[in-house]
Amino acid sequence: MEKRPYVIIVSEVSIDGKLTLYRGASSKELMSLMDKEAYRYLHEIRAKVDGIMVGCETVRTDNPSLTVRYVKGKNPTRVIPCSTANVPLDSNVLNTEEAPTIIATTQRAPKERVEKIKEKGAQVIFAGDELVDFDILLPKLYDMGIRTLMVEGGSSINWEFVRRRAVNEIRLIHLPVIVGGENVPTLVGGEGFKKLKDILHLRLRSHFKRGNQLITEWEVAG
């Protein structure tokens, strides 16, 4: 892909790589363990990027605001891939007085739902027929001025970036806990690469502590 934003995946993960307590659980519960210092780290990144993305499922389960709160700075544009535009109309990302929002959807989205989202002040863009097609979406976002994009999950969306190698950095806030569980979402979901020759290689750029959390910052190699 020639034109796409510089992409940074940022996530809070348990030591066993889980994003939440069980499938369908809001990660806000697990994140309540995080120190203020780690929140500040997360929000410092938000304040520096043009756009911030989470998947539609994260909007439905966590109802995040995706705004900058723990530090001073400008709110990034929120981008939500949502193939049938099934975003609850009372969700925080549709509070467009706080920050601009783009709902990326497909031809499958019912017209009435699209109109209601537009009435809330969000922009709706179309990319793909089935699921949102990131090969179409990412160049569009670039053309709309989103040159740096922070991706905050969940695991399905992270996989979309990882599988097409459309990610430049991964930054992790490690919570010093083990969650366990076979089907609990981990940092990256999807089908997985399966072959050793295909897996994504990373280079550790830095590691440090913020409060009680280890932070690791990784660059995608080659």
Ligand X SMILES: NC(=O)c1ccc[n+]([C@@H]2O[C@H](COP(=O)([O-])OP(=O)(O)OC[C@H]3O[C@@H](n4cnc5c(N)ncnc54)[C@H](OP(=O)(O)O)[C@@H]3O)[C@@H](O)[C@H]2O)c1
- Within residues 83-102, the interface with ligand X by CB under 6 A covers 83-84, 86
Q: Is there binding between residue 63 and ligand X (CB under 6 A)? A: no
Reference 218, options 175, 185, 174; nearest CA is 174
- Within residues 156-215, the interface with ligand X by CB under 6 A covers 156-157, 160, 185, 189
86: exposed, middle or buried (C-beta count within 10 Å: 0-12, 13-18, 19+)?
A: middle
In the block, which residue shows the tokens 């050793």?
196
User: Per CB under 6 A, which region of 1-9, 20-28, 95-103, 161-169 contacts ligand X?
Assistant: 20-28
Closest separation in Å from C-beta 45 to ligand X = 12
Residue with smaller CB distance to ligand X, 175 or 220? 175
Give the neighbor-by-neighbor strand order of the sheet with 51-53: 123-126, 101-105, 77-81, 51-53, 148-151, 6-14, 169-175, 213-220, 202-210
Residue with smaller CB distance to ligand X, 19 or 220? 19
Among 4, 8, 9, 12, which residue interacts with ligand X (rule: CB under 6 A)? 12
Q: Is there binding between residue 55 and ligand X (CB under 6 A)? A: yes
What residue ranges in the chain does DSSP mark as E strands?
Answer: 6-14, 51-53, 77-81, 101-105, 123-126, 148-151, 169-175, 202-210, 213-220
User: Per CB under 6 A, which region of 19-27, 88-96, 116-124, 199-207 contacts ligand X?
Assistant: 19-27
Reference 81, options 121, 29, 141, 23; nearest CA is 141
Which residues sit at the interface with ligand X, rule CB under 6 A?
A: 11-12, 19-20, 25-27, 54-58, 61-62, 81-84, 86, 131-132, 152-157, 160, 185, 189
